[in-house]
Amino acid sequence: MQRKFKCPILCAGDIFDRWNAPVELVNFAIENLPTMFAVPGQHDLPMHSYEEIKRTAYWTLVSAGIIANIDPKKPSCTQDLSIFGAPWGFDIPKIQNGVRGTKILVSHRYIWASKNNCYPGAEPAANIASLPPQTKDFDLAIFGDNHIGFTSSFGKTLCYNCGGFFIRKADEQDYTPSIGVLYTTGEVERIPLDISKDKVEWKVELDETDQSKVDTKKLIEELNKIGDSSIDFVSVVERLIRENLLDPKDSEAKKMVLKAIETKEQTK
């Protein structure tokens, strides 16, 4: 869409889930991400500190020309847009006199508008109604951090909360990631992304009471068959794990293995 309409992309932060992302992921981002204007989120910064930004994977993308970092002290201007940045931990800036064009705020800040787009017990101070009054001076305010996408308004300012760009957890499996398209009319259209080809594998974590539910009788019988050599021991344990008779994370199963070893030692 960027190539088709020759328009800039604006990103409200958390490009990575940690500031020192693996080199392979950084290389993938350099090779595949389109150029964009962005502010860093807390996960992009060491200890959430903007002062350390040049140590980050985010800044590597800046150096590679993928990201144009929006300076929190002055707007970035492109086409007929004046783009103001408020990275994680920064206040929403005030617009100085003489700024022209469509005024856009890009802020990595948690906001919510209703119980349908916040976590239980969300702070009232993060409600959209509690935004600083200078927010109303923008034509459009784009927010990151809240992974539930929604669109609302604050005064006459259109507030667009991006939401997560992809599904990360099992409780998000019914969520549809999306992007927003700003038209010259000032309208923002939310366009859902096609995730039909995405492959998601959920890992079920059993609690401690479930983890010890192994066939102890059969497990003990198999352990007693172990020969005297270490090769026999390793091969049998590997087979038990494959057959789900032995869970390496199960403390009771570990005790059984150690007991079997002690018994073998005593019978030599």
Q: Identify any residues that bridge with 104 across adjacent strands, giving them in sequence order.
A: 83, 140
Asked if residue 127 lies in contact with residue 111, where contact means CB atoms within 8 angstroms, the answer is: yes
The two three-digit tokens of residue 188, written as one number: 């923002």
pLDDT of residue 166: 86
Residue span(s) of the chain under CATH 3.60.21.10 come to 2-192
CA atoms within 13 A on the CB side of 168: 7
Asked if residue 12 lies in contact with residue 141, where contact means CB atoms within 8 angstroms, the answer is: no
Successive 10-residue mean pLDDT values, the chain, 268 residues: 89 96 98 98 96 98 98 95 97 94 98 95 96 98 96 97 88 88 94 87 60 55 59 64 64 64 58
Q: How far apart are the first and last CA of the chain?
A: 73
Cβ burial, residue 188 (10 Å; 0-12/13-18/19+): middle
- What Rg, from alpha-carbon coordinates, does the chain have? 26
- CATH superfamily of domain region 2-192: Metallo-dependent phosphatases (3.60.21.10)
pLDDT of residue 5: 81
- Spatial CA neighbour of 268 closest among 239, 226, 220: 226
pLDDT of residue 2: 86
pLDDT of residue 4: 83
